């Protein structure tokens, strides 16, 4: 019954985030990730119910988890959830910083956790062997593996399928993932004492939107480099003061598009479940990390939420591997205004209009005035690009002009 419930109540109702938790907790390997969706092999299912119970797609009781993790009710009025402190942080080692998405805080924290013996392995995401355009989660066990897995991958990935391996290996683990993956992990940890013992610290990335694989295919097509000729693909390659999508061809050709230039693709290729997501900053992690866009050259914004998160960050600051200065919620709101208003302040618009919606166990904020108008407009754009006609129109969009508009909007927001 349970796997059928997962199919009917979550996967079949556009509530699956693709986090991979169900695959990671299934004791018989009855679940797998195929063509961007969870597939159930009913022959192998023993009806244990673990998958459905750990799934964050249909419900994630925020207040319950806030009380458990922070010993206080969910901070419903705050766009960042419950937290203690916010800092701008960057890696002191130039190689770590240059190879990362923002300031390299996540990579450096993971290296420090490993090298001080606090953990034996780190959950990270790397390119698949022989396929530079495909990615998978794995347990990184040394500095080199962590460095190779740096940078954001803007594509839906069932990262939590790694829970199977975490259970098998008798190792202390640091987990890095997106807000929905963290929610799935928290649910799985509640139900499984082995996972609770193994996982020492949970780090979330901020997540405004994620994108279907089609977005990557679109960028590859526009680059003019044939898929089979790609040697390396990265979504956040650093170039001078910029960071962006980069392709290196086997024949020496390359392609670069600044990050803010392809942000518009979120509107076209975000899966519907991402429209229903009410967690921008990884509200149920020990530490959450995003971009501090106001700092040129790359800087990570770190939100400390728990005591353990504070200790992990403080240890790296004291060792001098990370350098930091105080930041604030206002700074996040100012430099990430559109995405935070969309995600945290106008969620009521989508909750009222979409045929299915997750149960977050909290009262959603009600949008008003200018913000409400912005939320409605964005919802209409999302709906348009989700139609067959919209998808066709998207393929014809002139990349250079769209990139210019997209980058100009972001510049206006930051400055």
The closest of 291, 298, 251 to 94, measured between CA atoms, is 298
CA atoms of 90 and 282, how far apart (whole Å): 19
Instruction: Report in angstroms the alpha-carbon separations of 195 from 8, 61, 164, 167, 175.
Output: 27, 20, 10, 6, 11
Instruction: Based on the shown chain and the rule CB under 6 A, indicate whether residue 289 belongs to the binding site for ligand SF4.
Output: no
Instruction: Based on the shown chain and the rule CB under 6 A, indicate whether residue 279 belongs to the binding site for ligand FAD.
Output: no
User: Which listed option, ligand FAD, ligand SF4, none, makes contact with residue 149 (CB within 5 to 8 Å by class)?
Assistant: ligand FAD
Instruction: Based on the shown chain and the rule CB under 6 A, indicate whether residue 124 belongs to the binding site for ligand FAD.
Output: yes
Q: Which residues contact 39 (CB under 8 A, 6 or more apart)?
A: 31, 32, 33
Which of 8, 12, 39, 46 is close enough to bind ligand SF4 by CB under 6 A?
46
List binders of ligand FAD among 85-104 (CB under 6 A): 100-104
Site string for ligand SF4, 136-175 (x = CB under 6 A): ----------------------x-----------------
Instruction: Based on the shown chain and the rule CB under 6 A, indicate whether residue 210 belongs to the binding site for ligand FAD.
Output: yes
**Binding residue count for ligand SF4, defined by CB under 6 A:** 41
Least Å distance, CB 318 to ligand SF4, is: 31
**Which residue lies nearer to ligand SF4 by CB, 288 or 316?**
288
User: Which listed option, ligand FAD, ligand SF4, none, makes contact with residue 387 (CB within 5 to 8 Å by class)?
Assistant: none
Contact 274, 53 (CB under 8 A): no
CA atoms of 24 and 31, how far apart (whole Å): 9
Instruction: Based on the shown chain and the rule CB under 6 A, indicate whether residue 11 belongs to the binding site for ligand SF4.
Output: yes
List binders of ligand FAD among 333-372 (CB under 6 A): 336, 339
Q: Say how far residue 382 (Cα) sits from the centre of its chain.
A: 19
User: Which listed option, ligand FAD, ligand SF4, none, makes contact with residue 378 (CB within 5 to 8 Å by class)?
Assistant: none
Instruction: Based on the shown chain and the rule CB under 6 A, indicate whether residue 152 belongs to the binding site for ligand FAD.
Output: yes
**Which residue lies nearer to ligand FAD by CB, 150 or 312?**
150
Instruction: Based on the shown chain and the rule CB under 6 A, indicate whether residue 301 belongs to the binding site for ligand SF4.
Output: no
Site string for ligand SF4, 341-380 (x = CB under 6 A): ----------------------------------------
User: Which listed option, ligand SF4, ligand FAD, none, makes contact with residue 215 (CB within 5 to 8 Å by class)?
Assistant: none
User: Which listed option, ligand FAD, ligand SF4, none, makes contact with residue 66 (CB within 5 to 8 Å by class)?
Assistant: none
Instruction: Based on the shown chain and the rule CB under 6 A, indicate whether residue 21 belongs to the binding site for ligand FAD.
Output: no
User: Which listed option, ligand SF4, ligand FAD, none, makes contact with residue 18 (CB within 5 to 8 Å by class)?
Assistant: ligand SF4
User: Which listed option, ligand SF4, ligand FAD, none, makes contact with residue 106 (CB within 5 to 8 Å by class)?
Assistant: ligand FAD
Least Å distance, CB 254 to ligand SF4, is: 28
**Which residue lies nearer to ligand SF4 by CB, 111 or 180?**
180
Q: Which residues contact 30 (CB under 8 A, 6 or more apart)?
A: 3, 40, 41, 42, 43, 44, 45, 46
Instruction: Based on the shown chain and the rule CB under 6 A, indicate whether residue 263 belongs to the binding site for ligand FAD.
Output: no
Name the residues that contact ligand SF4, by CB under 6 A: 2-3, 6, 10-11, 16-22, 26-28, 30-31, 38, 40, 45-51, 55-57, 158, 178-180, 184, 207, 209-210, 273-274, 277, 279
């Amino acid at each position: 019954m349970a796997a059928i419930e997962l199919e009917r109540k979550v996967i079949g109702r556009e509530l699956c985030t693709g986090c991979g938790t169900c695959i990671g907790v299934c004791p018989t390997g009855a679940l797998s990730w195929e063509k961007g969706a969870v597939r159930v092999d009913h022959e192998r299912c023993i009806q244990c119910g673990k998958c459905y119970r750990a799934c964050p797609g249909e419900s994630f009781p925020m207040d319950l988890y806030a009380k458990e993790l922070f010993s206080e009710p969910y901070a419903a009025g705050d766009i960042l959830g419950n937290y203690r402190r916010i800092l701008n942080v960057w890696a002191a080692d130039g190689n770590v910083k240059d190879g990362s998405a923002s300031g390299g805080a996540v990579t450096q924290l993971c290296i420090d956790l490993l090298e001080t013996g606090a953990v034996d392995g780190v959950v990270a995401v790397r390119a698949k062997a022989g396929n530079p355009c495909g990615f998978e989660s794995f347990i990184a066990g040394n500095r080199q593996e962590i460095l190779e897995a740096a940078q954001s991958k803007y594509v839906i990935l069932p990262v939590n399928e790694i829970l199977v391996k975490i259970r098998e290996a008798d190792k202390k683990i640091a987990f890095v993932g997106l807000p929905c993956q963290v929610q799935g992990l928290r649910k799985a940890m509640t139900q499984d004492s082995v996972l609770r013992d193994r996982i020492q610290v949970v780090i979330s990335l901020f997540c405004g939107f994620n994108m279907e694989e089609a977005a990557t295919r679109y960028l590859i097509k526009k680059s003019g480099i044939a898929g089979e000729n790609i040697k390396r693909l990265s979504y956040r390659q650093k170039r001078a003061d910029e960071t962006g999508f980069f392709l290196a061809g086997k024949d020496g050709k390359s392609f670069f598009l600044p990050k803010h230039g392809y942000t518009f693709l979120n509107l076209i290729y975000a899966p519907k479940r991402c429209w229903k997501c009410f967690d921008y900053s990884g509200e149920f992690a020990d530490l959450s990390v995003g971009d501090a866009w106001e700092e040129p050259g790359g800087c990570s914004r770190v939100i400390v939420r728990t005591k353990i998160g504070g200790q992990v960050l403080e240890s790296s600051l004291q060792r001098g591997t990370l350098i930091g200065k105080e930041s604030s919620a206002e700074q996040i709101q100012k430099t990430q205004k559109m995405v935070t208003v969309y995600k945290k302040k106008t969620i009521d618009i989508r909750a009222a209009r979409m045929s299915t919606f997750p149960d977050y166990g909290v009262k959603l904020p009600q949008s008003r005035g200018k913000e409400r108008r912005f939320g409605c407009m964005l919802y209409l754009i999302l709906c348009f690009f989700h139609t067959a006609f919209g998808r066709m129109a998207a393929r014809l969009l002139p990349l250079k002009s769209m990139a210019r508009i997209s980058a100009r909007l972001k510049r206006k927001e930051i400055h």
